[in-house]
Homo-oligomer: A and B are copies of this chain.
Amino acid sequence: MTLSLDDFDLKLLMEVQRDAHIPQNELGERVNLSTAAVNRRLRRMSDAGVIRNYAAIVAPEKVGYPLTIIATVEVESEQIDLLDSMKRTFAQCPEIQQCYYVAGEWDFVLILTVRNMEEYTALTRQLFFSNNNVKRFKTLVSMSSVKVGLGVPVAPEGV
């Protein structure tokens, strides 16, 4: 079920995706709605799962994780239980920020954040080399995070 969202909702989403600490009365001014209406709409979208959660976005390089790595993985077999097991392993690994199961030349794309190359090497051993279902993998080392976010382009019609 897809909750119907009007332009007010979309504008609110746009705002809170960028900054979730704007007071609701100010949000109200920006979108021309009362504080109460803003509050109700945000709650409604949270309840409906449109807003999954509110999160503090941490700068990895400020907490000792200056390296971002993109890894692509090809599997040996696409047997469901083997895939599920890999997905669970990837999902549980704290250094893996994102994991996509993809169609195309590869089967998985991973985004990792690590302290240094040694840590990544250790992770490849743990995640890839010691997993019989990993046929091959490739590593791309990020030299610059040009853009990092999870923002969805929810602009009201015609922006």
At the interface, yes or no: A148 with Cβ under 8 Å from chain B? Answer: yes
Q: How far is the CA of A134 from the CA of B113 in the complex (A)?
A: 27
Residues A50 and B54 in contact in the complex (CB < 8 Å), given A140-B105, A150-B97, A155-B94: no
Closest residue of chain B to A62 (Cβ to Cβ) is: B50
* CB of A21, distance to nearest CB on chain B (Å): 5
* CB of A27, distance to nearest CB on chain B (Å): 11
At the interface, yes or no: A80 with Cβ under 8 Å from chain B? Answer: no
Residues in chain A within 8 A of chain B (CB atoms): 2-3, 5, 10, 13, 16-21, 48-60, 62-65, 68, 70, 72, 87, 90-91, 94-106, 108-109, 111, 113, 138-155
